[in-house]
């Protein structure tokens, strides 16, 4: 029953924070629980991230498929300062996401702080939730910095 109450709380918080993704995810999980399909929760946990990343990657690659990005645009990335900085930024973000995934595997209860922090960022900073991996990656980085200073 605690899980249902937490999911309801996440639905309310997601609605208050105008986070359709959190609200929808919590609603779907609540429905899974209420119709007694809990046996699928481990599969959702194991494969949900992969499916989410698949759809996110597909969304990012649509400009290539729709030919809105040309070969000229791709070569400009390697020959301009903004393009080179974007390459470094993309590589750094991906590395941090990997560290975030490691952190969540090692310390999964941190997801509570990540979700609440993301909601606070949406409400108070007018941020855009891009997912728990980036939040976890930044958290992993901040934990390392904290360890250096407060060891």
10 Å Cβ neighbour count for 23? Answer: 18
Q: 7 vs 19, which has greater pLDDT? A: 7
State the pLDDT at residue 68.
Answer: 92
Q: How confident is the model at residue 5 (pLDDT cuts 50, 70, 90)?
A: very high
Please tell me the pTM assigned to this model: 0.65
Torsion of CA 135, 62, 86, 70, to 10 degrees: 180
Mean pLDDT over the full length of the chain: 87
Mean pLDDT on 84-108: 90
- How would DSSP label each residue in 42-100? HHHHHHHHHHHHHHHHHHHHHHHHTT-S-HHHHHHHHHSHHHHHHHHHHHHHHHHHHHH
The mean per-residue pLDDT over the stretch 81-95 comes to: 92
Tokens matching residue 146? 């904290």
pLDDT value of position 17: 75
Q: For residue 100, give every residue at least 6 positions away whose Cβ sits within 8 Å of its Cβ, in sequence order, or none.
A: 132, 133, 134, 135, 136, 137, 138, 139, 140
Position 1 pLDDT exceeds 70: no
| C-alpha triplet 36, 6, 125: angle, nearest 5° | 135
Q: Is 141 helix (H, G, I), strand (E, B) or coil?
A: helix
Instruction: Tell me the average pLDDT across 51-57.
Output: 85
Over range 53-63, report the average pLDDT. 89
Query: Residue 19 class from Cβ within 10 Å (0-12 exposed, 13-18 middle, 19+ buried)?
Result: buried
């Amino acid at each position: 029953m605690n899980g249902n109450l937490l999911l309801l709380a996440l639905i309310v918080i997601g609605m208050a924070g105008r986070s359709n993704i959190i609200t929808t995810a919590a609603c779907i999980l609540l429905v899974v629980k209420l119709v007694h399909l809990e046996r699928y929760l481990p599969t959702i946990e194991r494969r949900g991230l992969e499916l989410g990343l698949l759809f996110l990657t597909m969304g990012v690659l649509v400009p290539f498929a729709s030919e809105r990005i040309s070969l000229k645009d791709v070569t400009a990335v390697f020959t301009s300062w903004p393009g080179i900085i974007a390459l470094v930024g993309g590589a750094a973000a991906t590395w941090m996401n990997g560290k975030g995934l490691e952190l969540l595997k090692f310390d999964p209860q941190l997801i509570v702080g990540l979700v609440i922090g993301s909601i606070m960022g949406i409400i108070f900073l007018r941020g855009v939730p891009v997912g728990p991996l980036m939040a976890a990656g930044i958290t992993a980085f901040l934990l390392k910095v904290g360890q250096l200073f407060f060891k």
